[in-house]
Chains A and B, each alone.
Chain A
């Protein structure tokens, strides 16, 4: 499913994004290339400031591209604006990190989920049916439609955000740290939901995270970003078990494992790397 049948869904080529702040320019992406196939989940790992979120934003049209191209389903969307960008809303969606800020606190869940549909001109009845179906998809009860975001926990809000992303049946969802604000047990439940939805709908994910454990669980392939560049890409097992680039190795060892004996050993290795 990953290769073949008609080439990749998303193709990013030598992408450069600059952030201008007054006189100074900061190059957030320094020529990044990657592809995502249909039904595939590609992880983007790195620290804060590595540019991983910027790549997601550029694909969504929320960050201005300096040079390079972004192709989606064979169409150049690098500079899609206005009506062209709004048409893409049917195909590309987003789930943000912050389960508190990403839902308008003054709207009911029903209004939040129906918004993408009604904005595209879908009739109310159709929207209502789609909303009910999506709530079931993300395992929330149907009476959630009349409630407000403040009545839900972080994990539930993230399910609502996922439902909103799914409601127009997109082909690609950009997930920007969607589980990093959640408790561990909630986090694994939401990851399982992401996987189930991918199997049911065949949607592709660009999964941005700072946590190699999370991307190992959910992604087929992983790219590691450091200071605006992809330093290493490869399939899940290789990146998380046998990384080549020193930065990836440092990143892998820096994350502590829940086992005191193995962690002590990892720490010794990490200290060796740090000094060296």
Chain B
């Protein structure tokens, strides 16, 4: 139960409620939002803010330069540009809002329905969406303008219709992704109708992308709207930025300022929307924080914590030795330490198990040896030795040259570690040609030989196959073949059997054991399963919360665990516990004892 208690209140709360505050922490986002709010305020308060009637013509003001009474001067008809700009913001925002709303109303429900129901609904909706996209929008807009006497609202609704496919496509792809989530099945089993599922789960899923899309759509709608007004479409009595640009354009040679004001207003508003959209997109998608990606510089310091674990062999006689390894991940809330000074080693021909629960830092420890930590992770150590040679201080290129030659690596997920675009043969032969500089024919021969060795009976067929044509167990054999093809002295396997069925797991463990003996490799195997440890390991390192709890030979660890945590983990394996029948008998007995 110890690991399953409720999180302490001190734990930072992540995700949803944080979105707003995370947005406000981005300077670009804050500036863009402030600019946009300013435009909105200007539009709403135009009657209060505008010093003059926007349509009042004062001939003395014609093409006047900016002055104290007329901040931006007058236009070619003698109207106050500043007042017209404020009122023009109303037109612009109203138009953009109408267009976005139309797009959302048409695109989102159809997109969600198409993604959720699929089949015929999807085919019909998608054809309509594609059809709308292939219609030349500007021509339709001009026809609509002519037909409706340039009714502004109708025009903006028409623009919205052309924006609908954008909304449709995002909603559909989100719904397609969410439809396969188990929580949709759970909702169905819970007795929700399709309508309830669409409303409760699907609309929630598309909310965020729709907001982002609206920021972009709004900008585009403003641009198109200004374009129409520039062409002279729209009411002459309502001030608009597009019409003002037209006026400025005609006097561009003599009075460039008249063009500058509305163009700047439009440009800044669209840019603000675009930046808001991109900041939101950045926050909502799972991307590494920009600061941490390049942040290899600041390494986790030794700190005041004592290193845990101790090596059992001299440096010269070890296949792998790690001293005082620290790993930290950079994040928005500062560095998070995941490994706190770990020491361990493995002798040649020894099988070392690193065992622990999720979050114990066991994978991070071996990934540091490989220099393959995920983005944002940084490792420092007093020393990392492979085959008695210090490699911790080598430059990255030299470190990576060790992979495939000195060190072989078998990952956890066989499928995601094979490139779906290339045949198995290609993925095995290329490293041999590049790293070991073997001629093509020889590399093929070697790959074939190794596939036979890992128990693949028809290597030629497998080499011609693509990863999706193989089963999980077969794919793991291929990866093991790739890992040992370079005859490494150290093979590192990170949870190599966790994604596999038990019967396949037994086969893969047997294969690893045979290869380790045959090639005389040291094998470091990371696992959470004490059964796997008992099956294959000579020595064990038990880890918890980034520290070594204890180290020892496998027999001693199981017979006489030195730490209560180790004992708890071993007890948690279910192979020798009481069965349900025993448990019920004990329960009944206890019940009778209470009654008696």
Q: Contact residues of A with B, CB < 8 Å?
A: 41, 47-48, 60-62, 85-90, 92-94, 96-98, 101-107, 115-116, 119-120, 140-141, 144, 147-148, 150-156, 161, 164, 168, 183-191, 195, 199, 210-211, 213-214, 216-220, 235-237, 240, 250-251, 253-261, 263, 267, 270-271
Contact, CB under 8 Å: A60 / B554: no
In the complex, the chain B residue whose C-beta lies closest to that of A241 is B579
**Is B48 in the interface zone, CB < 8 Å from A?**
no
Residue contacts A-B, CB under 8 angstroms, 26 given: A47-B501, A47-B502, A47-B504, A86-B192, A89-B189, A92-B189, A104-B181, A104-B201, A107-B204, A119-B196, A140-B6, A148-B15, A154-B358, A161-B186, A164-B190, A185-B3, A185-B569, A185-B572, A187-B572, A217-B580, A235-B581, A236-B581, A258-B573, A260-B534, A260-B555, A270-B506
Contact, CB under 8 Å: A96 / B182: yes
Contact, CB under 8 Å: A96 / B190: no
Contact, CB under 8 Å: A102 / B580: no
**Is B289 in the interface zone, CB < 8 Å from A?**
no
Nearest-Cβ distance from residue A131 to partner chain B, whole angstroms: 13
Contact, CB under 8 Å: B4 / A153: yes
In the complex, the chain A residue whose C-beta lies closest to that of B537 is A260
Q: Which residues of A contact B584 (CB under 8 A)?
A: 220
Q: Which residues of B contact A96 (CB under 8 A)?
A: 182, 185-186
In the complex, the chain A residue whose C-beta lies closest to that of B356 is A183
**Is B570 in the interface zone, CB < 8 Å from A?**
yes
**Is B191 in the interface zone, CB < 8 Å from A?**
yes
Nearest-Cβ distance from residue A54 to partner chain B, whole angstroms: 13
Instruction: Place the interface of chain B in its size category.
Output: 35 or more
A39 to B189, CA, bound (A): 20
Contact, CB under 8 Å: A263 / B534: yes
From known contacts A101-B181, A185-B572, A270-B506, infer whether A260 and B558 are also in contact, taking CB-CB under 8 Å.
Answer: yes
Interface residues of chain B: helix, strand, loop or mixed (majority): helix
Contact, CB under 8 Å: A151 / B14: yes
**Is B50 in the interface zone, CB < 8 Å from A?**
no
Nearest-Cβ distance from residue A170 to partner chain B, whole angstroms: 10
Contact, CB under 8 Å: B558 / A254: no
Contact, CB under 8 Å: A89 / B191: yes
List residues of B (140-179) whose CB comes within 8 Å of A's CBs.
none
Which 10 residue pairs are nearest across A and B when measured between Cβ atoms?
A89-B191, A256-B531, A213-B574, A116-B190, A258-B530, A184-B572, A254-B506, A258-B573, A102-B182, A47-B501
Contact, CB under 8 Å: B191 / A119: yes
Contact, CB under 8 Å: A104 / B204: yes
Which of A154, A183, A235, A267 has the largest number of chain B CB atoms within 10 A? A183
In the complex, the chain A residue whose C-beta lies closest to that of B540 is A260
Nearest-Cβ distance from residue A197 to partner chain B, whole angstroms: 13
**Is B55 in the interface zone, CB < 8 Å from A?**
no
A48 to B528, CA, bound (A): 20
A41 to B192, CA, bound (A): 27
**Is B382 in the interface zone, CB < 8 Å from A?**
no
Out of A151, A164, A188, name the residue touching B7 (CB < 8 Å): A151
Contact, CB under 8 Å: B3 / A257: no
Q: Which residues of A contact B505 (CB under 8 A)?
A: 254-256
Nearest-Cβ distance from residue B446 to partner chain A, whole angstroms: 28
Contact, CB under 8 Å: B528 / A258: no
From known contacts A93-B190, A94-B186, A211-B502, infer whether A184 and B579 are also in contact, taking CB-CB under 8 Å.
Answer: no
Contact, CB under 8 Å: A255 / B186: no
In the complex, the chain B residue whose C-beta lies closest to that of A141 is B6
From known contacts A90-B191, A101-B183, infer whether A267 and B580 are also in contact, taking CB-CB under 8 Å.
Answer: no
A189 to B6, CA, bound (A): 13
A116 to B200, CA, bound (A): 12
